[in-house]
Amino acid sequence: MSAVTPAPPVQDVPEDHRTGPARSPSVSAAFSGTAFAADIGGTWVRMRTGGQDEPVERTPSPSRLRHPDRSVPRLRADLVDLLCDRVPAGARAALSFGAAIDHLTGTVYGSAPLWGDETAAYDVAADLRRRRPDVTWHLVNDVTAALLDFAATHAGPGIRRVAYLTVSSGIALRTADLEQRRIPVDDLGLQGEAGHLPVPLTDPGSDVLAGLPCECGARGHLASIASGPGLARVAERLGLSRPARVADWLPGALAADDPGARRLLELCAAPVAHLLRTMWCLDPHLDLIGIGGGVAEGLAGPYAAEIRRRLAAATSYADRGRDDVWLDERLMFCTPGQVDALRGAQRVADWLPGITR
């Protein structure tokens, strides 16, 4: 598919009663200064100064995953220190953040990989502005950044709405309206935190998975089963003999047609297929969905085949199943490097006027 042609930059951003890093006085102001971008995840922080061709610095993330012994205030302070030390003077900084974030203010509501089950909202943008008032800060969720990159590189002419779903250490999705050039959010500045929705256990025998914990501290979420940590929990609940890292064992076990591995894949893919089916049911103008992230990309062909197998099955008169031609046009399983949240963060300024309630 050919790339979407970016709309001309809009000069004036509408005023909003909630101002923050996602709301600059103008887009032209956002483009002044040296460009700096960072993609902040639970495992790595990737940073780049300058254009898309400049080298990327990768450093271990100051996160709960990396440092389970550190307090949340310490981890947050370490992250602010890292970003403020790296950003050039007077820069325009676009941050892709692995967290549930208010896109209108930059307040973070939670991030299991970064801060575990901490639920107190954190105005990271305010801390960054206090430390480095010379910098123009723009914060978006990492899935939003990935969506911007996916849409720019894979959504061809005629695509009305496009979504990107990540299945990794967490699960989330974002949807953009390409006709209106908007990414709608709710009153909390959120959209698509699907990993923390209750998961339907509809497969025969799937009741064995009831009550599995999620990194956010709750139980029975989509991420409890279908995320990377969810894979390990499901494998343990099924009593599979496995190495410490399921991700290292599962691809080979699937290639060898191991029945335990096959059952594990079926149970972990089922709620993701259910989510996709629901999305298309509720939004018939959703013309393209990309799926990426460590789980989907790491399991690659077997994962895609299982999702497609489930979507091909009819479930009711309202869902008669999708054939290969239909799915080929509307569903794309991304390979490693095909979608880049860091690259997407550098596209954020073009979309700022359209990230609205």
Window from 4-8, 141-145, 222-226 with minimum mean pLDDT: 4-8
Average pLDDT, integer, range 246-271:
93
Which pLDDT value is given to residue 202?
81
Give the CA dihedral 127, 131, 136, 138, nearest 10 degrees: -30
Check whether 253 has a pLDDT greater than 90: yes
Distance CA 46, CA 59 (A): 7
Res. 43 pLDDT band, cuts 50 70 90: confident
* Report field, pTM of the whole predicted structure over 0.75: yes
Domain with CATH 3.30.420.40 in the chain: 27-140, 193-284+294-333
Res. 308: pLDDT tops 80: yes
For the stretch 202-214, pLDDT in tens is 887 788 899 999 9
In the CATH scheme, what is the code of domain 193-284+294-333?
Answer: 3.30.420.40
pLDDT of 200 reads 83
Secondary structure of residue 275 in the 3-state scheme: helix
Q: Please state, rounded to an integer, the average pLDDT across all residues of the chain.
A: 86
pLDDT attached to residue 217: 83
Banded model confidence at residue 29, pLDDT cuts 50, 70, 90: very low
- Helices 124-131, 72-86: axis angle to 10 degrees equals 50
Q: Per-residue pLDDT averaged across 36-65, rounded?
A: 93
Best-predicted range by mean pLDDT (97-101, 251-255, 314-318)? 251-255
Rounded to whole angstroms, the Cα distance separating 148 from 182 reads: 11
Residue 64 φ/ψ, nearest 5 degrees? -65, -35
**Highest mean pLDDT (candidates 14-18, 245-249, 317-321, 328-332):** 328-332
CATH topology of domain 27-140: Nucleotidyltransferase; domain 5 (3.30.420)
**Residue 240 tokens, joined:** 């599979």
**101 pLDDT higher than 90:** no
Count each helix (H run) and each strand (E run) in the chain, helices first: 13, 14
User: How many angstroms separate the CA atoms of 282 and 93, rounded?
Assistant: 36
Per DSSP, helices labelled H in the chain are 27-30, 72-86, 112-115, 124-131, 142-154, 222-226, 228-237, 246-255, 259-282, 294-312, 324-330, 341-345, 348-351
* Site of tokens 């575990």: 116
**What pLDDT is attached to residue 32?**
60
Lowest mean pLDDT among 173-177, 213-217, 265-269: 213-217
Strand partners, 221: 198
Question: How far is it between the farthest Cα atoms of the chain?
Answer: 60
pLDDT (0 to 100) of residue 311: 96
- Helix pair angle (294-312, 246-255), 10° resolution: 40
Only one residue has tokens 């909202």, namely 121
Give the model's pLDDT for residue 353.
Answer: 67
Q: How confident is the model at residue 350 (pLDDT cuts 50, 70, 90)?
A: confident
pLDDT in tens, 157-193: 999 999 999 998 889 999 999 999 999 988 888 888 8
CA distance 188 to 190: 5
| 279: phi then psi, degrees, rounded to nearest 5 | -60, -45
DSSP string, 209-263: GTT-B-TTS-BSBHHHHHSHHHHHHHHHHTT----S-HHHHHHHHHHTT-HHHHH
Judge residue 157's burial from the number of C-beta atoms within 10 Å of its C-beta, 0-12 exposed, 13-18 middle, 19 or more buried.
exposed
Give the model's pLDDT for residue 1: 38
For position 14, what pLDDT does the model report? 33
pLDDT in tens, 78-92: 999 999 999 999 999
Q: What percentage of residues in the chain have a pLDDT greater than 90?
A: 64
Cα–Cα distance between 47 and 59 in angstroms, integer?
Answer: 8
